Amino acid sequence: MLRSSLRAIVSTLAGAAFAALVLVASPSVRAADAEPQDIPFTRHVLANGLRLVVHEDHKAPVVAVNVYYHVGSKNEHPGRTGFAHLFEHLMFNGSEHANDDWFRAVNGFGATSVNGTTDEDRTNYFETVPTGALDATLWLESDRMGHLLGAIDQGKLDEQRGVVQNEKRQGENAPYSGADRMLPGLLYPAGHPYSWSVIGSMEDLNAASLDDVKEWFRAYYGAANAVVVVCGDVDTAEVVKKVEHYFGDILAGPTVARPETWIAKRTGTVRVSVEERVPAARVLEIWNTPEWGSRDSHLLELAAAVLGRGQGSRLHIRLVRRDGIATSVSASQDEYEIAGQFQISATAARGADLAKVEKALDEERARFLADGPTEDELATEKTQIRAQFLRRTERVGGFGGKSGVLAYAELYGGRPDAWKDRFAVIAAATPADVRDAARRWLADGVLVVETRPFPKYTAAKQGADRSAMPAVKEAPDAKFPALVRSELPNGLRVVLARRTSLPLVRLDLVVDAGFAADPPAALGTSHLTGRVMGEGTTSRSADQLRRDVERIGADYELDTQTDTTRITLSVPKDGLAPCAAILADVARNPAFDAGEIEVQRRAQLAAIEQERVDGRGISQRVLPRLLYGAEHPYAAPSSGTGSAAVVAKLTREDLQKFHRTWFRPGSATLVVTGDATMEELTPLVTACFGGWEAGKAPEKRLPDVAAALSSRVYLVDRPGAPQSVIVAAQLVPARRAEDEMPLAVMNTILGGSFISRINMNLREDKHWSYGARSDVRGTRGPRALNLWASVQTDKTAESLAEMVKEMRGIAGGVPATQMEITAAKSSMTLTLPGRWEATRAVAESAAEMVSFRLPDDYFDGYASRIRAVTEADLAAAAKLVHPDSLVWLVIGDRKKVEKAVRDLGVGEMTVIDADGRAAE
C-alpha cells in the first residue's frame, strides 16, 4: 500500500457540530497539559544491529508485530523511482522457506490489520495476530528479512509490477489527482529526495529489472536497518529470546547513508493551473517547512489545527459557514524525516469565484500571522491532540496503534519514547510561540555534514530452523464483553459494554431511521437532517456548542446508514458528563437554523457532484435503484446523499418533520462502551434523556424483491478514464440464522479477503486490478451481494468475463475446496480477538446487535457457528447465488469498452448517465 504524503486534506468531522444541554454548565474539563497515557517498553539491540522494542498489553489475547525498514522513496534516484513501493509489494509474495502468498499464511493465523506501507522515508509491514501465532509470525517476518532473494523471480516481478501500475492508475482515476501528481516536482528542486512521487513513474516501473530489485533488497533490507516492535499480550523476556532466535542470524547489511535535513525553504509565489474532470474548483497552498521532531514542526501542527481542524476552525467558520464560498477547507502540517509541508486546501462552493476563496484563505492566514491563536483556541487544540492520541493508541497494532508510535519514535528519534518530545513542546507552547513559528514559515532560508563511524555488527552463527514454520498454538475463543441493559420510562434503551483498559468512554445513540426512512419522493432528507442536527440547538449557538465539545477532547460522528442513524461521541472519561449532555441536546433539541441549513445543503450538493464524477460514487448512486427498483426504501443512493433536485428544495419544515417522526426514544438505543458502570450511567442518562417525550417511530416496510429473469448490463461513460469500475450485484434474503454463517463463509472465499478467488484472479494472477472484492451489504431487509473491481481500461471485458466465471464457480461450478473452507473459517474466527481490541470495534459490534435486533449472546457463539459450517451448508448457500440474473454496472470510457462488453453477451446493455437515466 502506498501512503501518499503530498495529498489534499479534507475536513474529518462530516459536516456536523455539537451541542450541550442548558442544564449543564459550559464544560471546564481541561486536559491540555496532561501527558497522554504512557507506553512502557523494553528496548534491546541484537548483535547484528536489529533494534527490538517490546510493550506488554494484556487486555486482549493478541500481539502486534510491526517491522519498520529505514528506507523509502527518498533513497531512490531519478530514473529508478518507485522501487521502495514496488519492493514492498514483492515482500508479500513469499520467501525462500514460505514460498506462498503472505496473506494466505497469516489469514490462517487469524491475523487482523495486515498490511504494508511505503512513504518517502520508511517501509513497514505489520499484522496483529492471536498470541499463539507469535512464533509463526516472527518466523515469517524473519524469513522475508533474511531469506527473500531465492524466492523472487521474473514472474513475481512482472505480477507485482502490474499490480502497482494498476494502483497508480487507480490513484490517477481519482478527482484532483492530476494536480497532486505535479506537487513533488514543483515543491522541491531537482535532485531533492522528495522531488519525485512515492509510487514512481510508469517508465521507471517498466524499466525495473530483476537485478535492480535484488540489489535494492541487499542494500536496504539488512537487520541493522530495521526496527521490530512486538506489542501485546506477551512476556518481554520471552519475546527477546524469540526475536534473537528468529532474527539473530540475519546479516546486518551494508551501511545506509542518511540524507541530512533539507527543507528547501522557498521564496516568492509560483502559480500553476490544471484542468481536470472534477466537480468543483480547488485551491491548494503549500509551504516547505521543518522536518519530523523539530520544535517548529510541532508548533505549526498547532497552527494548522487552529486554522483548519474541523468545523470550529477559523477557516471553516469564515469560508464555509460565514461566506459560503467553500464546501470544505482544511490545514495540516505534514512532517517527514528531512523536511515537512504545511498545506491549506479549500474546495469552492458551486458558483463561487476561486479567486475569492484564495483571497479569504490569505486574509485569515494574515490575521493569524499578526495576532496568533487565542489562549482558548490553543488550549482546545492541545486537549484535542491528547484525546486523539488516546483513541489511536488503544490498539496495539494497525495504523496509528502503539506499535506504530514506538516504531516511528525509535526509527526517527533514536528512542521508543521520542514521541513524548512532541507533547512536551505542545504542552509548553504559548500563543506567541505558535504565532512566531507561523511567521517564520508561512509569511514569505545551513547544511552541516557530520561523518561518524558506524558500529561494527556481527551475525549469530546459528538461527531458526527454516525447514518448517512453527506451529500456531490454539487460541481461546474471543470473549465479547457482557452487555448490561436498562431502560428509561420513556422507552429509551441503554446498553453497556464495559472496557477499562483506557480512560475512554464512547456513546452511540442508535436511532431507527436511516436512508430507508426517506420519503420516496424526497431522497436525501435523512442525510441533510443529520448534517444539520449538530449545527446548533435551541439553547446554544453552533459556535458555542462546538467550543464546548472541543474543550473536553471529544470526537464526534453522525453516521446515517441504510436502516439507522447513529450519533457518536467518544471522550476521555473525565469529560463523560458534559459529553452525555451534548449528545442528548443534539438528538433532542436541534435548532435547524436557516443559515446552517444552507451551509449543509451546499456541502451535500457538492458531495453529490463529487459522486457523479467518481467511479465508486456513481455506483453508489445508481446501483441501488437498478437492483431494488425505484419504489423500494433501499433504492436511495447508498451514500445517502439523495437527489440534487430534492436536496436543493428541502425546507426547514421538512427537516423538522423528519426529526419529529423518527427521533423518538422508543425507537432509540444508547450504546455505551468503555470505562463506565451502569451505576455511574443511570443518573447521568436519566438527567440528560429522561425528559425526552415518549413515543416510537413508524415501522419501516422492507419488502422482498423478485429476482431478475436474466442479467442486465448498464454502462456509464467516463471519457478518458484510465480504469473501469465493474460492479456485479444481486439480492440475497435478509439475515436468517440457518443461512447466515454459510453465506458469510462463502463470501469470504469468493471475495471477502485478500486471498479470495476474485482478488487472486484479477490482482495476483492477471494483475489487471489493484484489488477486487465482494461483500454482503449489512441491511435489515433484503441484502445486496456485490462484487466490484477497478480494472485497467483495456482489460474491461476480459475482467468482466473472469468475474462471471468466478460467480458461476462459487454457485456450484467449482465448489469450495476443503482448503478454502478451512482458510475462510480460520480467518473469520481467529481474527475476533484483534477485532474487539479497541473500544470503537466493540461499540460497532454492539451497535450491530442493536441495529439488526440480534440476541445479546450473538457474538459469544459466533466462532463455534462458523466452525460448524460444512461443505453441505456451503452447497446450500451457493443456491442463493444467481450468476445469470445479475445487475452489471460498468463505469469507464465508452469508446474503448462498449463493443467488447456487448460482444460478451452477458446481458442486454443499456447506456445510462451518472444519475441512472438512459443516455443517447
C-alpha span between 769 and 789 (Å, rounded): 7
The H or E element spanning position 831 is: none
C-alpha span between 69 and 90 (Å, rounded): 15
Query: Would you call 459 helix, strand, or coil by DSSP?
Result: coil
Taking each helix axis from N to C terminus, what angle separates 737-750 and 818-830, rounded to the nearest 10 degrees?
110
State the Rg of the chain over Cα: 27
C-alpha span between 647 and 605 (Å, rounded): 7
C-alpha span between 428 and 423 (Å, rounded): 8
Query: Would you call 335 helix, strand, or coil by DSSP?
Result: strand
Residue in 823, 713, 711 with CA at minimum distance from that of residue 757? 823
What pLDDT was estimated at residue 547?
Answer: 86
C-alpha span between 472 and 470 (Å, rounded): 6
Residue in 82, 84, 178 with CA at minimum distance from that of residue 125? 84
How many whole angstroms from its chain centre is CA 329? 20
Q: Is the dihedral of CA 37, 839, 667, 532 positive or negative?
A: positive
Question: Which parts of 710-797 are beta strand (E)?
Answer: 712-717, 723-732, 769-776, 783-792
* CA dihedral angle for residue 257, residue 258, residue 260, residue 264, rounded to 10 degrees: 100
Nearest 5°: the CA angle 64, 66, 71 is 170
Using an 8 Å Cβ cutoff, are 600 and 536 in contact? no
C-alpha span between 783 and 563 (Å, rounded): 12
C-alpha span between 495 and 843 (Å, rounded): 10
Residues of the chain with pLDDT under 50: 3-32, 445-454
Query: What's at 236, amino acid-wise?
Result: T
Residue in 281, 389, 288 with CA at minimum distance from that of residue 341? 288
C-alpha span between 66 and 647 (Å, rounded): 46
What pLDDT was estimated at residue 176?
Answer: 59
**Full DSSP string of 224-281:** GGEEEEEEES--HHHHHHHHHHHHTTS---PPPP-PPP------S--------S-SS-
Residue in 577, 576, 589, 588 with CA at minimum distance from that of residue 511? 588
Taking each helix axis from N to C terminus, what angle separates 678-689 and 576-588, rounded to the nearest 10 degrees?
40
Q: Any idea which residue has 481500461 for its cell?
A: 793
Residue 547 C-alpha cell reads as 467550543
How many whole angstroms from its chain centre is CA 221? 28
Nearest 5°: the CA angle 788, 793, 795 is 75
Residue 2 is given by DSSP the state B
* CA dihedral angle for residue 437, residue 440, residue 446, residue 448, rounded to 10 degrees: 10
φ, ψ at 718 (rounded to 5°): -130, 85
Query: Would you call 63 helix, strand, or coil by DSSP?
Result: strand
Q: Any idea which residue has 514460498 for its cell?
A: 99
Q: Is the dihedral of CA 533, 539, 543, 548 positive or negative?
A: negative
Q: Any idea which residue has 504494508 for its cell?
A: 116
**Full DSSP string of 122-160:** -EEEEEEEEGGGHHHHHHHHHHHHHS-GGG--HHHHHHH
Pairing of strands 340-348, 326-335: antiparallel
C-alpha span between 601 and 133 (Å, rounded): 50
The H or E element spanning position 331 is: strand 326-335
Distances 896 to 794, 891, 914 between C-alpha atoms, Å: 7, 11, 18
Residue in 568, 547, 448 with CA at minimum distance from that of residue 505? 568
Nearest 5°: the CA angle 101, 104, 105 is 95
**Full DSSP string of 336-383:** -SS-EEEEEEEEEPTT--HHHHHHHHHHHHHHHHHH---HHHHHHHHH
What pLDDT was estimated at residue 750?
Answer: 95
Using an 8 Å Cβ cutoff, are 560 and 553 in contact? no
Number of CB atoms found within 10 A of residue 436's CB? 15
Reported pTM? 0.76
Nearest 5°: the CA angle 350, 351, 353 is 115
Distances 466 to 106, 138, 242, 369 between C-alpha atoms, Å: 17, 12, 14, 60
Query: Would you call 90 helix, strand, or coil by DSSP?
Result: helix
C-alpha span between 41 and 31 (Å, rounded): 24
Pairing of strands 504-511, 565-572: antiparallel
Q: How many CA atoms lie within 13 A of 295 on its CB side?
A: 11
The H or E element spanning position 168 is: helix 154-172
